[in-house]
Structure 1
Amino acid sequence: RRGFVQRIIVVGGAVAYAGRGRTSYAARQGNIRLTQWYHEYGEPGVQEAAARYAQTYTQENPTVEVEMVWNPGDYGAKLSAALLTDEGPDVFELGGSPTLDMVKQGQIVPLDDLYTPEIKADFNPTSLGGLTIDGKIYAVKKVDDTGLIYFRPSLMEQAGLQPPTTFDEVIAAAQALDSGRTKGMFIGNDRGIGALLTIAPWSAGVEFLQDNKIAFNNERTAAAWAKVKEINDTGALLIGAPTDWFDPAAFTQNLTAMAWGGLWMMPAVQEALGDDFGVVPWPAFDAQGRPATFWGGWAEMVNGRSQNLEEAKRFVNWLWIEKTDLQTDFNLSYGFHVPPRKSIQAQAQALQSGPPAEAVTVLNEHGKLLSPLWNAAMGTAIGDAFANIVNNGADPMQEVTTAAQTCEAELQRVLG
């Protein structure tokens, strides 16, 4: 076996205890020890790939030991707890944007020195914007994901339909394609509350937080959320599918003619349906709106409490900026994601034609994300309001106003 430690640790409960053990071992060996955290990716082979990347870095840098830590279960809760201590990971991934609270608490450090002008230009400005707080970039994007409406061209043709370009056309198509045995549309077992919470207002041209102000307290948000209630009331939606919208089963098993789903589903859809599927973004709400989807994925950050900040930054630079072959491998060899770098997207054969190429275009042209000032408390406020509209028929504008007031108070706390 090699003279350096190559361990994959499955983290259970004692994160701090394990951290102390790692630190003392590294000190005895006289080497720099970095810990790198991942959440549990569902695709086979990702865990082994992540361990291999860490091993390769140590082979190239023999005085640095990188310990890849795989975290099953509630990664967000584990990470939040660990970042409040001095025993957290040196390098970690986050699903979503860094937050101002993380900056204030010293949990992340700026990584601007990793971005040369050429590297910066190789990332989409929308993606970089989600990693930027007060003009500083706090992460490197490692995986891009997005959502799409999957449809069956054969069923569309039989019904004399074209892919929908407005929300009203989504409703009309869902009703026309609903045969009873095969429902017209699937947007999740929660009636679209999770999938369309931000996407429906985005498609109406709404921003949630803009220029340090809550910006969604308007009739367009109310109309967009009310339209989700309207499509539910048609009876054309699939409700109670065996798996939720992020799994392809409802679509591939012909339970629904159209389905909102993630890019990651595409290989399974292609295997099941061959060429009989297409994808479009969530369409514009109306003539004044615009198509929309989420700009998802994961980004790598460096813990501000790391005892080896510069080495941690060098590792992030090596893996997620320099090693474009590993970035391609991570995104496309195990699951199906979009590499965040434009140059890699252009070279990846799997993304050059058909629905995969269309998905990349959808992401780059219509992908949206929330401001780094947005936080979980604000998300809860709008989620509760939206659910009350869809499930209980609450007054849309009243719910929007109440949620906006809660978000405004939370924003002032964050900015204060």
Structure 2
Amino acid sequence: MSAWSTHHWNRRSVLRTAMGLAAAGGLTACGGNTGRDGGGPGAGKRLVQYFHAYGEAGTEQAVRRYAEAYEKADVTTQWITGSNFESKLFASLLTDKAPDVFEFHPQIQLVRSGQVADLTDLVEPVKDDFNPADIRSHTVDGKIYGVRMIDDPQFFFYRRSMFEKAGVGVPATLDELLATAAELTTDKVKGIYLGNTLHPVVNPMIWASGADTLDEKNEIAYHTDGVVEGFRTLRKLFTSGDLLLDAPTDFWDPSALNQGLTAIQWCGMWAMPQMQQALGDDLGIFPFPKVTAAGRPAVTNGGWSMFVNAKGENVEAAKEYVKWLWIDQKEYQEDWALSYGFHIPPRTSIAESADKLKSGLPAEGVRLFNEFGHFDNIGWTQAMITALEDVLADCVRKGGDPERALDKADATVGRELRKLFG
């Protein structure tokens, strides 16, 4: 689902963000106790869950409908609007008004700080029905923290008619992407849009360079000649005049492509129904093209997961609710993934039976996801994300030296790694 389905907000490290904000005690408004008592740990309890405001119509109503159907506790939903969900969430976690359940992305500092509860006992019985990559991305020291709700592949969407008119094909390399964008640019249409911050393409560019954020030993893996080349190529694109800058909405919203402001847009599969409604068959997709000969195409898998606040007063009741909704209620899980945009259900049994994903462009999205998708690395933290976004700002927006910018990032990332892994 749209807005912020990956880590591409204007972020700071979790601790820095949380400590620098005033307590957000006013965020949590408890609903009246319905007196529900279905037995078990949640009996008579009042739980609060946090969701960021998804862009698709019907999402908020769906979340509230699921909560209303739960009979063992009174569940209040806080639907956090605006682009500062992260700040509000982490500020609230420092207070006695913290949510019992919240959605976020798997990040190891939440585990190391004891903020999120171990959910192994919930997931283990059905672990084989989850995408194995989703299980790995939520696992620390053999324990599973968080339940994946949706997988959200991101790739390039393009207007077929514009490609045909310009006489260009789907680019296979980053250099070809720049050349294609130049051919597609007119006095009214820019060739390509990467989002207003450009942040969404940092990780796919790294992967398409044949590198990674961290390696299997949780050591720096992004500082390679290929990544340096990728940043330099993005600088060429930034200064070419073929890149749409400062669009009315950010990358997660399909308006730039739908309204003809650009011929190519980086976006998520969640927006595919809106794009198809606006553009019909004049719509295609392709992965981030390889940057170097040693690289390969890349697809970002964003998405959201549900966590239990381990420091809350109702941990067991919250775990029971998460199990009920995100483990047991397959009907709701399918509804959440497929009724308000297109997402890939992390449960294999649901994904395999999802008719909406079996043909046409959605099926192509699933294929690209399966062939080129990269999942969350739980060790890649907020501070590390910001460090690489700073590299992009330095050498793509400002024309700085990528090697020097990456050296600076290495220092930041290295400190984080030492704190987390010794």
**TM-score bin, normalised by smaller chain:** 0.7 to 0.9
Contact 1:216–1:404, Cα closer than 8 Å, also in 2? no
User: TM-score when scaled to structure 1?
Assistant: 0.87
1:372 and 2:401 correspond: no
Q: For 1:395 and 1:281, locate their aligned partners in 2 and report how far apart those are by CA, in whole Å.
A: 27
User: How do 1:336-355 and structure 2 match up within 5 A?
Assistant: 336-355=342-361
Contact 1:98–1:138, Cα closer than 8 Å, also in 2? no
Contact 1:26–1:33, Cα closer than 8 Å, also in 2? no
Aligned twin of 1:34 = 47
2:170 maps to amino acid:
P
Identify if the C-alpha distance between structure 1 residues 166 and 242 changes in structure 2 by more than 3 Å, giving closer, same or farther: same
Q: For 1:322 and 1:170, locate their aligned partners in 2 and report how far apart those are by CA, in whole Å.
A: 44
160, 163, 166: which one aligns with 1:159: 166
* Offset at residue 250 of structure 1 (A): 1.6
Q: For 2:246 and 2:313, locate their aligned partners in 1 and report how far apart those are by CA, in whole Å.
A: 49
User: How do 1:87-126 and structure 2 match up within 5 A?
Assistant: 87-94=97-104, 96-99=105-108, 101-116=109-124, 119-126=126-133
Q: Deviation per CA, 1:290-347: give whole Å up to 9, x if none.
A: 1112211110111112333233222111111111110111122223322222221221
Contact 2:257–2:265, Cα closer than 8 Å, also in 1? yes
Aligned twin of 1:176 = 183
Secondary structure of 1:336 counterpart: coil
Contact 1:146–1:293, Cα closer than 8 Å, also in 2? yes
* Offset at residue 17 of structure 1 (A): 7.5
Aligned twin of 1:208 = 213
Contact 2:204–2:288, Cα closer than 8 Å, also in 1? yes
1:69 maps to amino acid:
Q
Specify the structure having the higher radius of gyration (Cα). Answer: 1
1:366 maps to amino acid:
F
* Offset at residue 158 of structure 1 (A): 3.1
Aligned-residue sequence identity (percent) comes to: 41
1:69 and 2:78 correspond: yes
2:110 maps to amino acid:
M
Aligned twin of 1:242 = 248
Q: Deviation per CA, 1:200-219: give whole Å up to 9, x if none.
A: 11111111122121222221
2:250 maps to amino acid:
D
Q: Deviation per CA, 1:207-254: give whole Å up to 9, x if none.
A: 112212122222122111111112223322222333232221221122
Aligned twin of 1:356 = 362
Q: Deviation per CA, 1:53-74: give whole Å up to 9, x if none.
A: 112111xx4xx32222322342
Which stretch of the first structure deviates more once superposed, 385-394 or 35-44?
35-44
Q: For 2:234 and 2:176, locate their aligned partners in 1 and report how far apart those are by CA, in whole Å.
A: 13
Q: For 1:17 and 1:233, locate their aligned partners in 2 and report how far apart those are by CA, in whole Å.
A: 45
Q: For 1:281 and 1:374, locate their aligned partners in 2 and report how far apart those are by CA, in whole Å.
A: 22
Identify if the C-alpha distance between structure 1 residues 241 and 35 changes in structure 2 by more than 3 Å, giving closer, same or farther: closer
Identify if the C-alpha distance between structure 1 residues 375 and 130 changes in structure 2 by more than 3 Å, giving closer, same or farther: same
Q: Deviation per CA, 1:9-62: give whole Å up to 9, x if none.
A: xxx95348857x989x999x972222222222222222221111112111xx4x
**Displaced runs of 4+ in structure 1, greater than 3 A?**
15-19
Which stretch of the first structure deviates more once superposed, 332-341 or 250-259?
332-341
Aligned twin of 1:4 = none
Contact 2:210–2:292, Cα closer than 8 Å, also in 1? no
Q: Deviation per CA, 1:244-280: give whole Å up to 9, x if none.
A: 3222122112222212112122122111111111111
Q: For 1:16 and 1:239, locate their aligned partners in 2 and report how far apart those are by CA, in whole Å.
A: 34
Q: For 2:155 and 2:29, locate their aligned partners in 1 and report how far apart those are by CA, in whole Å.
A: 41
Contact 2:107–2:380, Cα closer than 8 Å, also in 1? no
1:115 maps to amino acid:
V
58, 63, 81: which one aligns with 2:91: 81
Identify if the C-alpha distance between structure 1 residues 178 and 250 changes in structure 2 by more than 3 Å, giving closer, same or farther: same
Q: For 1:203 and 1:414, locate their aligned partners in 2 and report how far apart those are by CA, in whole Å.
A: 27
Identify if the C-alpha distance between structure 1 residues 67 and 188 changes in structure 2 by more than 3 Å, giving closer, same or farther: closer
Identify if the C-alpha distance between structure 1 residues 411 and 30 changes in structure 2 by more than 3 Å, giving closer, same or farther: closer
1:137 and 2:147 correspond: no
Contact 2:24–2:91, Cα closer than 8 Å, also in 1? no
Q: For 1:249 and 1:385, locate their aligned partners in 2 and report how far apart those are by CA, in whole Å.
A: 28
Q: For 2:147 and 2:343, locate their aligned partners in 1 and report how far apart those are by CA, in whole Å.
A: 16
Number of aligned residue pairs: give it. Answer: 393
2:289 maps to amino acid:
P
Identify if the C-alpha distance between structure 1 residues 54 and 322 changes in structure 2 by more than 3 Å, giving closer, same or farther: same
1:44 and 2:57 correspond: yes
Q: Deviation per CA, 1:325-371: give whole Å up to 9, x if none.
A: 10111122223322222221221222111111111222232222442
Contact 2:25–2:97, Cα closer than 8 Å, also in 1? no
Identify if the C-alpha distance between structure 1 residues 135 and 30 changes in structure 2 by more than 3 Å, giving closer, same or farther: closer
* Offset at residue 141 of structure 1 (A): 0.5
Secondary structure of 1:93 counterpart: strand
Q: For 1:364 and 1:340, locate their aligned partners in 2 and report how far apart those are by CA, in whole Å.
A: 12
Which stretch of the first structure deviates more once superposed, 121-130 or 314-323?
121-130
Secondary structure of 1:198 counterpart: helix
Q: For 2:195 and 2:374, locate their aligned partners in 1 and report how far apart those are by CA, in whole Å.
A: 20
User: How do 1:168-317 and structure 2 match up within 5 A?
Assistant: 168-190=175-197, 192=198, 194-210=199-215, 211-317=217-323
* Offset at residue 92 of structure 1 (A): 1.3
User: How do 1:384-399 and structure 2 match up within 5 A?
Assistant: 384-399=390-405
User: TM-score when scaled to structure 2?
Assistant: 0.86
1:14 and 2:21 correspond: no
Contact 1:142–1:340, Cα closer than 8 Å, also in 2? yes
Q: For 1:263 and 1:16, locate their aligned partners in 2 and report how far apart those are by CA, in whole Å.
A: 31
Cα RMSD after superposing both structures: 2.5
Q: Flag structure 2 segments of 5+ consecutive residues without an equivalent.
A: 1-22
Q: For 1:379 and 1:271, locate their aligned partners in 2 and report how far apart those are by CA, in whole Å.
A: 34
